[in-house]
Chains A and B, each alone.
Chain A
Amino acid sequence: MKKRSTLKISISGVRGIIGDSLTPQLAAAFAQAFGTYIGGGPIIVGQDARPSGTMIKQAIISGLLASGCQPVDVGICPIPSFLFLTKESKASGGISVTASHNPREWNGLKFISRDGLYLTPHQTEEFLDIYHQGEFSFAEAERYKTLKTESQPAEPHLRKLLGYFDVDLIRRRKFKVAIDCGNGAGAILAPRLLEGLGCEAVFIHAIPDGSFAHQPEPLPENIREICRTVVKNKADIGFVQDADADRLAIVNNKGEPIGEELTLALAAQYVLGKKKGSVVCNLSTTRAIDDIAAARKATVFRTKIGEIHVVEKVLSAEPEAAIAGEGNGGVILPDVHPCRDSFAAMGLTLEYLASSGSSISTLQKRIPKYFMIKDKIEGSAEQAYRLISLLRKKVEGQGKVNLLDGMKVDFPDHWIHVRPSNTEPVIRVIAEAKTEEKAKAVIRRLKKVIADYLKKI
């Protein structure tokens, strides 16, 4: 068997394993290519709370200085705040050191344009061409810029959020909130936001040291501790942020995780109730979104997987997107900024609670019920590609096939989605149905078929 590649260069940026593929030399070369692509000016440089962040960040600072850019080191910073700052401070771009939800041995670089958005696929292509050609700009010593630091990078974002939400309405409810920052970058801003919203907050894992008390994905199995915390403190709601604080999982007032698909569904339910507009989400997001949108006669746009694809659609959607995001707990509130933002998701959820006067477990029941299973199988993108062409023949005529990203097949009472991951060498396999039994049966059958095919490939 071929050795698994531990370096992923994709539209999501660069990811690799520390001590293996992701070396400081590589990070510096990418930073220099980025500096060359951007052509100078201030570049915001931040990191999530991973312990390898500082090493990679220093390499990036070196590469940016060499290319004549002015790095602005903001240290550990939640990704949504980072994106907001990049746009707000009129920087030329940004590089964030993060591997999002990958395990802690991973780290990576994400590249951000002056608009505070991840590079679009076209921009990424131009930038990667520069990297591959290896001809970087080198500033002469006399033209070097000085390194700057920014110790309050999340402030502009916080101001925007507090200006957007109905703070008085939320404050009146005096919510008790339990929150797990997963020792991630979210801990930088979460206390201040919740304080601003008049919540009494109980924190766990709120030191951003990257120790990742649980796996960085806010999946139900990782959040037992916050569930207990909610019960013990009789909290109104529990929140779990992922490592870079762009995604949010919710625990209800009974201490039960509501499932990460419901973060966006709740947000959509609330926002569409007070504002006209469309919904943008990716192919793998729950069908509940379609039901919620249909009830409000709102259009749903489905995109490829990857935040940038959702964001691009948000920027071009007609009618304008009122709410967007992904089923993984990533909520995009376009009125704040067009990127996934766990803080915006928290604010929306709390405002929904406050305006409805209901408990979260009650609101949860109003969302159409589906059951989704997300699984993965080890395999390369190449294997995924060949697998999909075989699978396609098998399902032809039985369901509605969508080949926008891997293969999604919609059946009347369920759907399946098979695609190569953008960030890890695995094939993702997702199924959703009205009941748990049905979803399990579908995924079991699908995985068996795939396993058989993979043996042949």
Chain B
Amino acid sequence: MKLLKIGISGVRGIVGDSMTPKLVMDFAAAFGTYVDSKPVLVGRDTRISSPMLHAACLASLLSTGCDVLDLGLCPTPILQYQVRKSKAKGGISITAGHNDIKWNALAFINRDGTYLNPFQGAEVLDIYHLGKFKKVPTDGLGRVRDTEHYADEYFEGLRAFLDAEAIRKAKLKVVIDACNGAGANFLEPMACALGFELIPVNNEPNGFFPHDPEPRPRNAQQVVSIMKAVGADIGFLLNSDVSRISVVTETDESLSEEFTFPLVADEYLKDRCGPVVTNFSTSRMIEDVARSRGCPLVRTKVGQSYAVHSLLQEEAVLAGEGSGGVAFAAFQPAFDGFLTMGFILETMARQGKTISRLVGELPRYHIVKEKIYCPPARVHSIVSEVKKFFRRHEVDTSDGIRVEDKSGWVQVRASGTEPMIRIIAEDQLKNKARERADEVINFINVLIQ
């Protein structure tokens, strides 16, 4: 069976299986047709399959008459920033984010530098399914333009947005694990722009992932092992396109990726109150933080596309997910790992507090995240059958199945990226969270068999 996920803002699949040159070309041609032959930016992460997708995108975009600004190796948030700066009509980022090396994906970016919204995504998908791609004759073909210094512009913007002076003065020692992903070429310029001492880990842009490129505690061993030895103030883990990060404290605690967003929000909302967007799978921490700052919280479906479009629609100030992605509306409507790291450093610098202390000020919950493999054709029907398990509860079906009570909640939903059912449970008590998850998992296992 082939694994392929077509989402609202892109397509994701296993290389050599569903992710073929033809598929990539058809999607890129659909996107080129959608943007009507206007300039498009293309960037990619370091995955060893990415040059295949990159060449296929170039060929297709050129064939539809789009000029291509080729950023080559480029983290998604920098590409998104440049789409707006260069006044292009859109962009394609080639990256499977946190997925392992077998996967790759195209993420489509609109002219505002955000993921396509559901309406735009539907339009591209319609063109794809119709298969009627724009074909221009020789003289109308697009041209490839290489661009230099595009990252300088981005880091200049980042420096201006943050209190770089405070960060510089704090003389922070920062360990960052780029997982040999797209971030690898960009950590030094970032350290330079913000003025911290960088201790890079897995900083070769060669695409060989020493661990899954997912920023979460189980991938943090390397960072944890050197924190004390180098006397670092904080450590960060990145996914392969620097849209998501997680934090390791100076006391060697590898924080759940759930902490990233509340950590940022707790400080950011102090003087910039406004609506906050998150998804239904994210920890209650952000609810407590938003409430304490007097900011309304809006919940959306899981996925950067939903979060960011809700951010724009609700004129919110922040959007973020429990997976470690945070978007600052005032900077750009995109999950931006560089800015997220930078803002956490600024917070430490301005408050003069260690990261463990800042984390200690946050409410603590216990969250359990599990996933069960499920045949793709049955994923949604099984998720909706879980309703039967909660016959006596009030069920929220905005994104899968979600049941909440005073002390915690549990959510069951179809993965947006893999043929999996995800089960997320949270509670003030660790064993209660585990219990919430396990009872649903048992029920689902029976259903699948």
Write the residues of chain A forming the contact surface with B, with a CB cutoff of 8 angstroms: 17-20, 23-25, 27-29, 32, 50-52, 54-59, 61-63, 65-66, 104-105, 107, 138-142, 144, 146-147
The 9 closest A-B pairs by CB, nearest first: A59-B59, A19-B137, A24-B59, A62-B56, A65-B52, A141-B15, A58-B59, A62-B55, A138-B16
- A105-B137, A140-B102 known; A59-B49 Cβ under 8 A: no
29 CB-based A-B contacts, threshold 8 Å: A19-B136, A19-B137, A20-B135, A23-B63, A24-B25, A24-B62, A25-B21, A25-B25, A27-B59, A28-B22, A51-B139, A52-B138, A55-B58, A58-B56, A58-B58, A59-B59, A61-B51, A62-B21, A62-B56, A66-B20, A66-B21, A66-B52, A104-B138, A141-B16, A141-B103, A142-B101, A144-B48, A144-B49, A144-B52
Q: Please name all residues of chain A whose beta carbon is closer than 8 Å to the beta carbon of B142 when the two chains form the complex.
A: 55
Q: CB distance B56 to A144 under 8 Å?
A: no
**B209 to chain A: closest CB distance in Å?**
11
A63 to B60, CA, bound (A): 13
**B184 to chain A: closest CB distance in Å?**
16
A19 to B135, CA, bound (A): 5
- A19-B138, A140-B102 known; A55-B16 Cβ under 8 A: no
Q: CB distance A28 to B17 under 8 Å?
A: no
| Inter-chain pairs besides A51-B138, A138-B20, A141-B16, 16 sampled, C-beta below 8 Å | A18-B63, A18-B137, A18-B138, A18-B141, A20-B135, A24-B25, A24-B29, A24-B59, A55-B63, A61-B55, A65-B49, A65-B51, A66-B21, A107-B138, A142-B101, A146-B48
Q: Does B93 contact A (CB under 8 A)?
A: no
A28 to B26, CA, bound (A): 12
Q: Please name all residues of chain B whose beta carbon is closer than 8 Å to the beta carbon of A54 when the two chains form the complex.
A: 58, 62, 143-144
**A403 to chain B: closest CB distance in Å?**
37
Q: Please name all residues of chain B whose beta carbon is closer than 8 Å to the beta carbon of A32 when the two chains form the complex.
A: 21
Instruction: List residues of B (8-46) whose CB comes within 8 Å of A's CBs.
Output: 14-17, 20-22, 24-26, 29
Q: Please name all residues of chain B whose beta carbon is closer than 8 Å to the beta carbon of A51 when the two chains form the complex.
A: 138-139, 141
Q: Please name all residues of chain B whose beta carbon is closer than 8 Å to the beta carbon of A147 when the two chains form the complex.
A: 51, 55
**A110 to chain B: closest CB distance in Å?**
18
A144 to B51, CA, bound (A): 10
Q: Which of B15, B52, B103 has the most CB of A within 10 A?
A: B52
Least CB separation from A18: chain B residue: B138
Q: Does B47 contact A (CB under 8 A)?
A: yes
Q: Please name all residues of chain B whose beta carbon is closer than 8 Å to the beta carbon of A17 when the two chains form the complex.
A: 137
Q: CB distance A55 to B137 under 8 Å?
A: no
Least CB separation from B208: chain A residue: A142
Q: CB distance B22 to A142 under 8 Å?
A: no
**B41 to chain A: closest CB distance in Å?**
16
Q: CB distance A62 to B16 under 8 Å?
A: no
Q: CB distance A24 to B16 under 8 Å?
A: no
Q: Does B363 contact A (CB under 8 A)?
A: no
Q: CB distance A29 to B138 under 8 Å?
A: no
Q: Which one of A105, A107, A141 contacts B49 once the chains associate, using CB atoms below 8 Å? A: A141
Q: Does B104 contact A (CB under 8 A)?
A: yes
A138 to B51, CA, bound (A): 15
Q: Does B140 contact A (CB under 8 A)?
A: yes
Q: Does B317 contact A (CB under 8 A)?
A: no
A138 to B137, CA, bound (A): 31
Least CB separation from B56: chain A residue: A62
- A20-B137, A50-B138 known; A142-B59 Cβ under 8 A: no
Contact flags B233-262 to A (C-beta < 8 A → 1, else 0) = 000000000000000000000000000000
Q: CB distance A62 to B53 under 8 Å?
A: yes
Q: Please name all residues of chain A whose beta carbon is closer than 8 Å to the beta carbon of B58 when the two chains form the complex.
A: 54-55, 58
**B96 to chain A: closest CB distance in Å?**
10
Q: Which one of A62, A138, A140 contacts B59 once the chains associate, using CB atoms below 8 Å? A: A62
A66 to B58, CA, bound (A): 15
A56 to B62, CA, bound (A): 9
Q: Please name all residues of chain A whose beta carbon is closer than 8 Å to the beta carbon of B136 when the two chains form the complex.
A: 18-19
Q: CB distance B25 to A146 under 8 Å?
A: no
Q: CB distance A142 to B138 under 8 Å?
A: no
Q: Please name all residues of chain A whose beta carbon is closer than 8 Å to the beta carbon of B48 when the two chains form the complex.
A: 141-142, 144, 146
Q: Please name all residues of chain A whose beta carbon is closer than 8 Å to the beta carbon of B22 when the two chains form the complex.
A: 25, 28-29
Q: Please name all residues of chain B whose beta carbon is closer than 8 Å to the beta carbon of A139 when the two chains form the complex.
A: 16
- A142-B48, A146-B51 known; A24-B56 Cβ under 8 A: yes
Q: CB distance A141 to B53 under 8 Å?
A: no
Q: CB distance A144 to B137 under 8 Å?
A: no
Q: Please name all residues of chain B whose beta carbon is closer than 8 Å to the beta carbon of A142 when the two chains form the complex.
A: 48, 101-102
Contact flags B59-75 to A (C-beta < 8 A → 1, else 0) = 11011000000000000
Q: Which one of B17, B52, B104, B137 contacts A62 once the chains associate, using CB atoms below 8 Å? A: B52
A58 to B42, CA, bound (A): 13
A23 to B142, CA, bound (A): 14
**B211 to chain A: closest CB distance in Å?**
15
A105 to B138, CA, bound (A): 5
**B131 to chain A: closest CB distance in Å?**
10
